[in-house]
């Protein structure tokens, strides 16, 4: 075991987290259900005006995605923190930021990807034209990993707290603003029928940037939370 390579450590951790998630299948549906429910509330609150619903649609989908991501963030390190395995990760010979990345990836596969899959349904509910649906899905697949990555820093800072939930939203939501802006803007532009390369490029840049920086910040935060 002492010669376990970094890639196999990464994949083992990823597999472990996915198996753990699969064992609790009922919880898997929760973020998706929440996503659909929040989105369904908006037309009821706004009124049955097809044009208006189309206009707010992209924003609604994305705000619901932010909230769903926020809701599921807390589970990222919670059980590992409670049973002590998080401390074992800290003690391992591998760089913590890489191990953290495996956990973030597993978390995104479990909570972020379902949002991507169910998005076309919501787009239909919100009267978003079919021509804009591919863009909506593209923004989700580029944007939701950023939410998980940035969120992981917030979770790592609050994992040791008993009432971390409200603080977590205060820490993380302001940092989600750029993703929200560019993603909704891309969808709105696509509805009008203008190319969305600029917004999608910026979203990709955010993904790459947070992919590099966030795991390091998360690893440092975990060390502090566990000290």
Partner 1 sequence: MIIRFFHQMGSPRYFYKVAGKLIPWFMTGFLITLVWGLYNGLFIAPPDYQQGESYRIMYIHVPAAWMSMFIYVVMAVSGLISLVWRIKMTEIIVISSATVGASFTFLALATGSLWGKPMWGTWWVWDARLTSELLLLFLYLGIIALHSAIEDKRVAARAVSILALVGVVNIPIIHYSVEWWNTLHQPASITKFDKPSMDMSMLIPLLTMAISFKLYYGAVVLMRARAEIIERERNSRWVQEMVEEEAK
Q: Which residues bind partner 1 (CB under 8 A)?
A: 153, 157-158, 160-161, 163-164, 166-167, 170-171, 173-175, 177-178, 181-182, 185, 206, 213, 217, 220-221, 224-225, 227
Supply the minimum distance, in Å, between the C-beta of residue 29 and partner 1.
30
Task: Give the nearer residue to partner 1 in terms of CB position, either 144 or 221.
Answer: 221
Q: Which two tokens stand for residue 37?
A: 């429910």
Spatial distance between the Cα atoms of 137 and 128, rounded to a whole number of angstroms:
12
DSSP-assigned states of every residue in 37-62:
HHHHHHHHHH-S-HHHHHHHHHHHHH
Minimal distance, residue 11 CB to partner 1, in Å = 28
**Which CB atom, from 9 or from 203, has the smaller least distance to partner 1?**
203
Greatest distance between any 2 Cα atoms in the chain = 63
- Token pair belonging to 202: 């910026």
CB of 150 to partner 1, least distance (A): 8
Q: Which is nearer to partner 1, 48 or 227 (CB)?
A: 227
* Residue 176 C-beta: closest distance to partner 1, Å: 10
Which of residues 63 and 181 has its CB atom nearest to partner 1 in the complex? 181
- CB of 184: closest distance to partner 1 in angstroms? 9
Residue 9 or 200: the one with the smaller Cβ distance to partner 1 is: 200
Q: 95 or 160, CB closer to partner 1?
A: 160
Nearer to partner 1, 120 or 160 (CB): 160
Least gap, CB of 78 to partner 1 (angstroms): 16
What minimum distance in Å lies between the beta carbon of 172 and partner 1? 8
């Amino acid at each position: 075991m002492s010669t376990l390579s970094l890639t196999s450590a990464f994949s083992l951790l990823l597999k472990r987290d996915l198996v753990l998630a699969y064992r609790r299948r009922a919880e898997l549906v929760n973020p998706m259900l929440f996503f659909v429910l929040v989105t369904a509330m908006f037309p009821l609150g706004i009124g049955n005006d097809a044009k208006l619903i189309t206009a707010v649609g992209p924003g609604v989908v994305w705000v619901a995605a932010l909230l769903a991501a926020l809701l599921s963030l807390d589970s990222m390190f919670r059980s590992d923190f409670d049973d002590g395995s998080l401390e074992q990760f800290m003690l391992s010979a591998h760089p913590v930021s890489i191990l953290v990345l495996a956990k973030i990836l597993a978390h995104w596969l479990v909570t972020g990807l379902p949002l991507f899959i169910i998005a076309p349904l919501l787009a239909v509910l919100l009267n978003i034209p079919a021509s804009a649906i591919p863009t909506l899905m593209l923004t989700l697949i580029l944007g939701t990993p950023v939410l998980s990555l940035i969120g992981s820093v917030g979770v790592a800072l609050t994992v040791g707290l008993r009432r971390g939930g409200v603080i977590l939203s205060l820490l993380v939501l302001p940092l989600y603003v750029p993703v929200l802006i560019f993603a909704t803007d891309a969808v709105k532009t696509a509805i009008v029928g203008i190319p969305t390369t600029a917004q999608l490029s910026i979203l990709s840049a955010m993904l790459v940037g947070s992919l590099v920086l966030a795991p390091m910040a998360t690893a440092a935060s975990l060390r502090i939370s566990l000290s």
